[in-house]
Amino acid sequence: MNDADEAAAQPVTPSSSPRLAEQRFQGVGVSPGLARGPVFLLRRDDESVPDYPIRAEDVPSEVARFEAALVTTRVQILEMQSKIADAIGAKDAGIFDAHLLVVEDRAIIDEVQRKLAHELRNVESIYRDVANRYADTLSRIDDPYLRERALDIQDVTRRVLMNLVGRGHIGPRGLDYPHILVAHNVTPSDTAQLNRQLVLGFATEIGSSTAHSAIMARSLNIPALVGLHDALTLLQTGDQVLLDGYHGLLVVNPSEQTLREYEELARHKARLEAGLVELRETASNTRDGRHIVLSANIELPDDVPAVKASGAEGIGLYRTEFFYLNKSELPSEEEQYENYRRVASDVLPHPVIIRTLDLGGDKFMSSLHLPAELNPFLGWRAIRFCLERIDIFKVQLRAILRASALGNVKMMYPLISGLGEVRSANALLEECKAELRAEGREFDDNMEVGVMIEVPSAAICAPHIAREVAFFSIGTNDLIQYTVAVDRVNERIAHLYEPTHPAIIRLIKMVVDASHAAGIWTGVCGEMAGDIALTPLLLGLGIDELSAGASLVPRVKRAVQSVELSVCQSLAERVLEMDAPDAILAECESTAREFYPDLLG
């Protein structure tokens, strides 16, 4: 049982002060567990900008506030420019020249002053509207340089607004007390800033079970729910709540009766968790002796202790892009090498599979000023980005190769769509090997290199790709998204995101068969790997490895140990003849409940 469950299970001390009435809000549970504590509302900068009428005689003072904020912003930018120039050189610090031009842009300044006198609204709201209009206009122009200027305007706008409001951005990192985070959404950048010791759980207004926020919550073993519409207006920072990640419920001002009921639920779940902990040192073998490798997914080196505690056989997915987020500059080769070496050393003798950089989609590094895209998940991301930004890619490849000297490092490329990308990436890898040899640096010349199968074209071409790689790892989150053409974070069509869609089952079977024919193995590192209702199906389809969030590994191990491979193969044969996702899911759940009903309860 995690800390959040323990918090929920603590006895209630009756209070003599009058209690506020209990309120219940229903969302969708995406990470199991219970948490109790005060709410912290995470608001974006533009959500905290006040908007109110002013009098004509207030205009001069508003102009003065505006000018003072511009001066403060200019000083801040110059200070950042100076620090970066000292650290990595004047050339890289030049990126802030454009920011200085935005601060001093007379067109924006003059329009703000005109609108102040005409509309008689506070200067924060006027400046936000004017600057955002300029940025929106530039972002629609089909010119990379002008689109970058739009990003410059957005960056400067946020800084000016915070100086006008008189406070910096209030984010989760600055909190020093346990809390339940409530936000419109939790982005990968937010994740990188979280103080993971203090977040008891979180709820978001939007999202689905495969949204990044949900994946992160399961990885951290904290309860979470999504789809809590209007949460930022229904709740206030400081509200005492109970969060039920099992049933997707948020209870504000829980009554003593509700707390007693949840204390009993927490005790029941604690007994189940205690039984799973005992499986840590046992092998993940089916009842008839088939060994399935169970690995864990991580985002940061600090996740490794949870991996070791889970009983996982190493790391099946190390998402390296989180090392790049919320940084004002790119991480150096030495930084990356130390990072990867530390993780590999900590999991010895088990392997770690490092996924190369997967920026783009919903993960951006602000200092790169990547152009805005209408469809970022279908755009310049992952291996496509790396094969164009060879300067960035080779730094990472060299760092991974150097870490491979430990002997337990493997590497895989994300979002491969065809054989050409594999060959191009491998050619760069060979260049890096030649450079390291010339420098006399150690590395594993036989490091295994695999690819992620996340795109239907890669699954269809799997027999060709399998001849040139050491393994496949199926990223089911994106494979489902791209196969069924469903944005997995769009709640309006979330019901169409179906892991048991017949096309997904057939694609997985195609990939497994192609890999085994070529003598290589196939794993699953997407969310399907941690869904114990689907464990028998994946085993029956021939999957060799499952890699899930560390908190889910014990449950998956128990599921594997509870079934016979022959039963799983029979299930897969039946499912491959079926044509309806709901019917396939029901068949999978029926098999799972036959062998481990307590895990699904």
Reported as a single tens digit per residue, the pLDDT across 162-185 is 788 764 444 555 567 899 999 888
Which two three-digit tokens encode residue 211?
A: 């949204």
366 class by beta-carbon count within 10 Å (0-12 exposed, 13-18 middle, 19+ buried): middle
Place of tokens 């960056």: 155
Report the range out of 197-211, 213-227, 565-579 with the highest average pLDDT.
565-579
At 146, the amino acid letter reads L
83 or 149, which is more confident: 149
Q: Taking residues 379-393, what's their average pLDDT?
A: 88
Q: Taking residues 297-319, what's their average pLDDT?
A: 92
Q: Which of 99, 212, 432, 501 is catalytic?
A: 212
Pairing status of strand 23-26 against strand 249-252? antiparallel
DSSP state of 40: E
Reported as a single tens digit per residue, the pLDDT across 180-208 is 999 888 766 566 567 778 889 989 888 77
CB neighbour list of residue 328: distance below 8 Å, 6 or more residues apart: 80, 84, 366, 367
pLDDT at residue 169 in the model:
42
pLDDT at residue 9 in the model:
37
Q: Kindly tell me if the per-residue pLDDT of 513 is higher than 90.
A: yes
CA distance 464 to 61: 69
Adjacency order of strands within the sheet including 179-183: 23-26, 249-252, 240-244, 34-42, 179-183, 199-204, 224-226, 28-31
Reported as a single tens digit per residue, the pLDDT across 244-255 is 999 999 999 999
In this structure, of 218-222, 497-501, 517-521, the range with the lowest mean pLDDT score is: 218-222
Confidence of residue 2 (pLDDT cuts 50, 70, 90): very low
Report the range out of 30-44, 64-78, 172-186, 456-470 with the highest average pLDDT.
456-470
In this structure, of 153-157, 191-195, 443-447, 582-586, the range with the lowest mean pLDDT score is: 191-195
Mean pLDDT of the chain: 85
pLDDT at residue 509 in the model:
98
| Catalytic annotation present for 184 | no
Q: Taking residues 75-83, what's their average pLDDT?
A: 75
The Cβ-side half-sphere exposure at 266, using a 13 Å CA radius, reads: 25
Q: Kindly tell me if the per-residue pLDDT of 384 is higher than 50.
A: yes
Confidence of residue 444 (pLDDT cuts 50, 70, 90): very high
Place of tokens 């009842």: 287
At 593, the amino acid letter reads R
Cβ(176)–Cβ(196) below 8 Å? no
Q: Kindly tell me if the per-residue pLDDT of 15 is higher than 80.
A: no
Provide the β-strand partners of residue 534: none
Reported as a single tens digit per residue, the pLDDT across 337-359 is 999 999 999 999 999 999 999 87
Which two three-digit tokens encode residue 286?
A: 């089916």
Provide the β-strand partners of residue 353: 410
Q: Kindly tell me if the per-residue pLDDT of 17 is higher than 70.
A: no
Confidence of residue 209 (pLDDT cuts 50, 70, 90): confident
Reported as a single tens digit per residue, the pLDDT across 100-137 is 888 888 889 999 999 999 999 999 899 999 988 888 88
- Helices of type H across 377-488: 382-388, 390-403, 419-439, 456-460, 462-465, 476-484
Backbone angles phi, psi at 25, to 5 degrees: -125, 130
47-165 folds as Enzyme I; Chain A, domain 2 (1.10.274)
Percent of the chain with pLDDT over 90: 56
Give residue limits of the domains in the chain: 3-43+172-272, 47-165, 282-449+525-600
pLDDT at residue 157 in the model:
85
Percent of the chain with pLDDT over 70: 84
In this structure, of 234-243, 333-342, 468-477, 539-548, the range with the lowest mean pLDDT score is: 234-243
pLDDT at residue 375 in the model:
62
**Kind and range of the H or E element at 153?**
helix 144-165
Q: Kindly tell me if the per-residue pLDDT of 88 is higher than 60.
A: no
pLDDT at residue 327 in the model:
62
CA distance 205 to 482: 24
**Residue-wise DSSP of 259-317:** HHHHHHHHHHHHHHHHHHHTTTTS--B-TTS-B-EEEEEESSGGGHHHHHHHT-SSEEE
Integer angstrom CA distances of residue 95 from 105, 527, 541: 17, 38, 51
Q: What is the CATH number of domain 282-449+525-600?
A: 3.20.20.60
Cβ(540)–Cβ(570) below 8 Å? yes
Q: Kindly tell me if the per-residue pLDDT of 1 is higher than 50.
A: no
CA distance 221 to 200: 10
pLDDT at residue 310 in the model:
92
CB neighbour list of residue 580: distance below 8 Å, 6 or more residues apart: 502
What Rg, from alpha-carbon coordinates, does the chain have?
A: 26
Cβ(403)–Cβ(340) below 8 Å? yes
| E strands in 43-79 | none
Q: Kindly tell me if the per-residue pLDDT of 87 is higher than 80.
A: no
The Cβ-side half-sphere exposure at 23, using a 13 Å CA radius, reads: 9
Reported as a single tens digit per residue, the pLDDT across 262-279 is 999 888 888 888 888 888
Q: Kindly tell me if the per-residue pLDDT of 445 is higher than 80.
A: yes
CA distance 172 to 222: 15
| Catalytic annotation present for 525 | yes
Cβ(216)–Cβ(191) below 8 Å? yes
In this structure, of 17-21, 271-275, 588-592, the range with the lowest mean pLDDT score is: 17-21
Pairing status of strand 179-183 against strand 34-42? parallel
Centroid of chain to Cα 78: 33
**Kind and range of the H or E element at 122?**
none
Q: Which of 386, 432, 525, 568 is catalytic?
A: 525
Confidence of residue 429 (pLDDT cuts 50, 70, 90): very high
pLDDT at residue 190 in the model:
67
Q: What is the CATH number of domain 3-43+172-272?
A: 3.50.30.10
**Residue-wise DSSP of 524-545:** E-SGGGG-TTSHHHHHHTT--E
Q: Taking residues 486-508, what's their average pLDDT?
A: 85
CA distance 559 to 538: 12
pLDDT at residue 145 in the model:
60
- For residue 26, count other CB atoms closer than 10 A to its CB: 13
